[in-house]
Structure 1
Amino acid sequence: MEAVVEQQKDEFSPAIWRNRNFLYLWLAGLCSSFGLAIFLFSESWYVVEVMGLEASLGLVFIASSVPRVLFMVIGGAVADRFNKNVIMFLSDILRAGVAVALVFWLLFGTVTIWSFVLFALVFGILDAFFWPANGGLLPSIVEKKQLTRANSIIQITNQSSFILGPMLAGAVIALGSYVLAFSVTAGLLLIASIAILLIRMTKRKTKASSTENGSELWTSIKEGILYVKQSAFLVSLILFAVFINLFMVGPLQMGMPLFVKGVLDGNSLTFSYLEGTLAGGMLLGSILVGILNLQKRRGLLVICAMGINGLFFCLFSFTNELWQSLLLIAFLGTTFSVINIPVIAAIQSIVKEEMIGRVMSLLSMASMGLVPVSFALTSLFLSLGADITNIMVIGGALIVILSVIAFFKVPSLREFD
């Protein structure tokens, strides 16, 4: 009886927090995500408020997103060939250097929109190397049975930064200055880089690949693509990431301000309520997934959550009262986390350690690569006179249909634990 009680106690105790390596990784993620959130908010608000170049803000976003997509596969291959700690350290310390350079530029030079484009370009390239290494490092320091919980904690931290980071940045700018805001970013990234250096990895024997024998980087990338193609499960996940981002991201991100203005007859404050509630729903979903720490039928959970996600999106488009919209957008955010976290944990638990960086980079590229296409298609339909609510309904319905097809036609995903 005592053994059973002790086992239950261990299962529900915060054992993962006694893992020093995970604690350092979490601290690095906390500082890094808040630092980047402060940087992005300050950068955007400076362009809008100080420069008065609202129309040029898109150049900054493009400068960071395009290189992130283009270099992501290369970043995955590099992560599988070299020490992931070193890659993450260099990425954070270089981003801290960029923030410091911007501080000096603000103090002693003339900052233009092209200055921010340059900084965004560097940040995007460094992100492409940081995230595959980050995704590949976690399964090396956490037991497989704790991967779902570990990923949920990481997601909670990231999503909290999306909610609190802009608020903190706004307060720093209001009470201090933009120089102080970018200095805070540099300090947080410096702390993150130090925390990464404190992670101590044990050497593991892994099967040698052609990249370890001196083959070219392109061969390494092709190995990663071939590895994914040979797994019906991984191919299914990547295809789902492609379609969800194609059908959901554009209509949601572009459609929300249009929905607020045209349907809810709201203002910027109303828009902020919806954005905050969506992030709050994602945070709630991350907490639920972390508490449950499901180890069985995760594939079925993802399929069901994807279908419910599409249904909530459809229902959201029919709302015409703010409280209804807030309720549905909260549910929508919750299902996002229920989909994402088990998928990441599943990949980390089944993929070979020497391939994890490339697989994670391919998944990230599939997710982000179609976002500009989704924006373009949404813009095209809007220019042709389509109503945003109809675009949302179609996007949500297509996701529901995709989940039904996955349930009946993709047993490798449905039956995955």
Structure 2
Amino acid sequence: MTTTASATARPAGGRPAYRDGNVLRWLTAYTASLLGDSVYFVALGFAAAKVAPPAQVGLVMAAGAVPRAILMLGGGVVADRFGPRLVVIGSDTVRCALILAAAAALALASPGLWLLVAVALVFGVVDALFMPAVGALPPRITTPDQLVRLQGLRALSVRLGTVVGPPVGGLAMGLGGGAAAFTVAGLLFATSVPLLIGTRIASLPPAERAPAGRELRDGLAYIRRHRVVGPLVLSGALCELGLVGPLNVGMVLLADERGWGAAGYGWIIAGFGVGSAVSALLLAVHGRIRRAGAVQIGTLLVGSVGIGFIGVAHQLAVAVAVAFLSGLICGVCGGLATALIQTATEPAYLGRVTSVMSLTGFGLAPLVYPLFATAVGAFGAAPVFLTSAALAALGGAFTAFLPAIRHAELPT
């Protein structure tokens, strides 16, 4: 099955991924969808703030995470059963219709909080289908030797979405309120749909279908048995659980504890973001990493230690410099890990494998936030940062003892 998929998706003329029109078409659609996500969350938050107190705004923002976490594994089964291309196109179409309908409701009336909660819940359900499917697409649109480049390009799109999306959403809110911001998000989703339809996707031989529950169990058993995929998925889960606290909550608490304020927080986050963008660009251009498994282990260990030492820094300049280096190293680690997993996974299981990876990052990891914040309040930032970094480094430490991971290579 791997051979069939690769042959169908081979870039024309052996061009690298960043010069392959099919890859760039998918990348443009993916970027538009990411920007739509960012604008949507800004619009949802500000629209909720206009009709509800802060506590209820938090509930609205968190509402979509519940169905996303519950249904994520089922989304992987759907992606593998019906094909990721169909699921991604359908998901973006539904998101477009949902957000434009919300924009119309906000423009024509003054609906209460119930509308925003309903939109967030439905959006979360669709996200549970979209995330595993979009993660399963890269191996189906390019060859294995181009996966590292494609992961680098994808990481650049993610950075673009997080940097450009919120200001665009804020500008739309300022000019036309919630209706305008929701409209912009809906149009961005609409932009991605025809591009996705025009993207060539490798076809797979027809497979025998089983009940959904059995397919889910088969996917989990596949991950557990696979000597490369299983350890790397577990390693990634430990890394997510260890680093999500410092990166998403810890930087705010650290800046407050050190007296650096919001500006200091912004500089640290910008340093990490620039480092990640540079590493993504290097992966996209270079694309060929020898001894990929060993490099992934090493970068995971070093990157985890670097993030831990951000919490130890007492000078803002030092914290920003360490954040930049940590982002640079972690970006290489993440790109290699994803490429190694997708190269080793049989195409028929890509959706289910991606759903397990997404569940950790988007479903379980956010549960660490309150625990991390409580620990920082009790013990201070430095020891909690270092403890979290040690948990993340454990993901690299145990794989260092596995020959299948140490000697893993990407196709050249």
Deviation at 1:187, TM superposition (A): 0.8
Amino acid in structure 1 at the alignment position of 2:404: S
2:228 is matched with 233
Which range moves more in the overlay, 391-400 or 123-132? 391-400
Which range moves more in the overlay, 81-90 or 55-64? 55-64
Q: Give the whole-Å Cα distance in 2 for the aligned partners of 1:123 and 1:145.
A: 35
Judge conservation of contact 1:160–1:283 (CA < 8 Å) in 2.
Answer: no
Amino acid in structure 1 at the alignment position of 2:233: I
1:169 is matched with 169
Over residues 250-273 of structure 1, what are the superposed CA-to-partner deviations in whole Å (9 max), with x where a residue is unaligned?
23322211111111x133333333
Q: Give the whole-Å Cα distance in 2 for the aligned partners of 1:136 and 1:403.
A: 24
Q: How does 1:41-190 map to 2 (within 5 A)?
A: 41-48=42-49, 50-51=50-51, 53-190=53-190
Over residues 11-31 of structure 1, what are the superposed CA-to-partner deviations in whole Å (9 max), with x where a residue is unaligned?
xx9642453332221121011
Over residues 359-388 of structure 1, what are the superposed CA-to-partner deviations in whole Å (9 max), with x where a residue is unaligned?
1111222333331332242244246x2212
1:386 is matched with 379
Which range moves more in the overlay, 249-258 or 396-405? 396-405
Judge conservation of contact 1:136–1:357 (CA < 8 Å) in 2.
Answer: yes
Deviation at 1:140, TM superposition (A): 1.4
Judge conservation of contact 1:245–1:374 (CA < 8 Å) in 2.
Answer: no
Judge conservation of contact 1:32–1:188 (CA < 8 Å) in 2.
Answer: yes
Q: Are positions 1:365 and 2:365 aligned together?
A: no
Q: Are positions 1:35 and 2:19 aligned together?
A: no
Task: Specify which of 321, 330, 333 is matched with residue 336 of structure 1.
Answer: 330
Do the aligned partners of residues 113 and 245 (structure 1) sit closer, same or farther apart at CA in structure 2, a change above 3 Å counting? farther
Do the aligned partners of residues 192 and 297 (structure 1) sit closer, same or farther apart at CA in structure 2, a change above 3 Å counting? same
Q: Give the whole-Å Cα distance in 1 for the aligned partners of 2:270 and 2:114.
A: 30
Over residues 228-253 of structure 1, what are the superposed CA-to-partner deviations in whole Å (9 max), with x where a residue is unaligned?
11112222112112211222212332
2:311 is matched with 317
SS state of the match for residue 318, structure 1? Answer: coil
Aligned-pair identity (%): 23
Deviation at 1:216, TM superposition (A): 0.9
Judge conservation of contact 2:44–2:61 (CA < 8 Å) in 1.
Answer: no
Q: Give the whole-Å Cα distance in 2 for the aligned partners of 1:369 and 1:177.
A: 30
SS state of the match for residue 228, structure 2? Answer: helix
Deviation at 1:402, TM superposition (A): 4.4
Deviation at 1:196, TM superposition (A): 1.0
SS state of the match for residue 379, structure 2? Answer: coil
Judge conservation of contact 1:136–1:356 (CA < 8 Å) in 2.
Answer: yes
SS state of the match for residue 25, structure 2? Answer: helix
Q: Give the whole-Å Cα distance in 2 for the aligned partners of 1:412 and 1:114.
A: 51
Judge conservation of contact 2:309–2:385 (CA < 8 Å) in 1.
Answer: no
2:3 is matched with none
SS state of the match for residue 370, structure 1? Answer: helix
Q: Give the whole-Å Cα distance in 2 for the aligned partners of 1:82 and 1:405.
A: 36
Q: Give the whole-Å Cα distance in 2 for the aligned partners of 1:103 and 1:220.
A: 38
Do the aligned partners of residues 345 and 65 (structure 1) sit closer, same or farther apart at CA in structure 2, a change above 3 Å counting? same
Amino acid in structure 2 at the alignment position of 1:414: R
Over residues 47-80 of structure 1, what are the superposed CA-to-partner deviations in whole Å (9 max), with x where a residue is unaligned?
34x3463333331332122221221111111111
Give 5+ residue unaligned stretches, structure 1. 1-9
Q: Give the whole-Å Cα distance in 1 for the aligned partners of 2:314 and 2:320.
A: 11
Give 5+ residue unaligned stretches, structure 2. 1-10
Q: Give the whole-Å Cα distance in 2 for the aligned partners of 1:295 and 1:309.
A: 17
Do the aligned partners of residues 279 and 117 (structure 1) sit closer, same or farther apart at CA in structure 2, a change above 3 Å counting? farther
Q: Give the whole-Å Cα distance in 2 for the aligned partners of 1:171 and 1:266.
A: 27
Q: Are positions 1:221 and 2:216 aligned together?
A: yes
2:390 is matched with 397
Which range moves more in the overlay, 394-403 or 242-251? 394-403
Q: Give the whole-Å Cα distance in 2 for the aligned partners of 1:168 and 1:62.
A: 22
Deviation at 1:333, TM superposition (A): 2.0
Q: Are positions 1:413 and 2:405 aligned together?
A: yes
Q: Give the whole-Å Cα distance in 2 for the aligned partners of 1:350 and 1:121.
A: 34
Judge conservation of contact 2:239–2:393 (CA < 8 Å) in 1.
Answer: no
Aligned Cα RMSD in Å?
Answer: 2.2
Q: Give the whole-Å Cα distance in 2 for the aligned partners of 1:379 and 1:160.
A: 28
Judge conservation of contact 2:18–2:150 (CA < 8 Å) in 1.
Answer: no
Judge conservation of contact 1:251–1:374 (CA < 8 Å) in 2.
Answer: no
SS state of the match for residue 177, structure 1? Answer: helix
2:288 is matched with 294
Deviation at 1:199, TM superposition (A): 2.0
Amino acid in structure 2 at the alignment position of 1:294: R
Q: Are positions 1:327 and 2:328 aligned together?
A: no
Q: Give the whole-Å Cα distance in 2 for the aligned partners of 1:200 and 1:242.
A: 31
Task: Report the count of equivalent residues.
Answer: 397
Judge conservation of contact 2:141–2:202 (CA < 8 Å) in 1.
Answer: no
Do the aligned partners of residues 43 and 230 (structure 1) sit closer, same or farther apart at CA in structure 2, a change above 3 Å counting? same
Q: Give the whole-Å Cα distance in 2 for the aligned partners of 1:280 and 1:117.
A: 34
Q: Give the whole-Å Cα distance in 1 for the aligned partners of 2:307 and 2:15.
A: 35
Judge conservation of contact 2:308–2:386 (CA < 8 Å) in 1.
Answer: yes
Do the aligned partners of residues 137 and 316 (structure 1) sit closer, same or farther apart at CA in structure 2, a change above 3 Å counting? same
SS state of the match for residue 153, structure 1? Answer: helix
Judge conservation of contact 1:319–1:325 (CA < 8 Å) in 2.
Answer: yes
TM-score in terms of structure 1 length: 0.89
Runs of 4 or more above 6 Å deviation: none
Amino acid in structure 2 at the alignment position of 1:169: G
Judge conservation of contact 1:305–1:335 (CA < 8 Å) in 2.
Answer: yes
Judge conservation of contact 1:163–1:276 (CA < 8 Å) in 2.
Answer: no
Q: How does 1:201-220 map to 2 (within 5 A)?
A: 201=201, 203-205=203-205, 208-209=207-208, 211=209, 215-220=210-215
Amino acid in structure 1 at the alignment position of 2:33: S
Q: Give the whole-Å Cα distance in 2 for the aligned partners of 1:392 and 1:323.
A: 18
Q: Give the whole-Å Cα distance in 1 for the aligned partners of 2:370 and 2:83.
A: 38
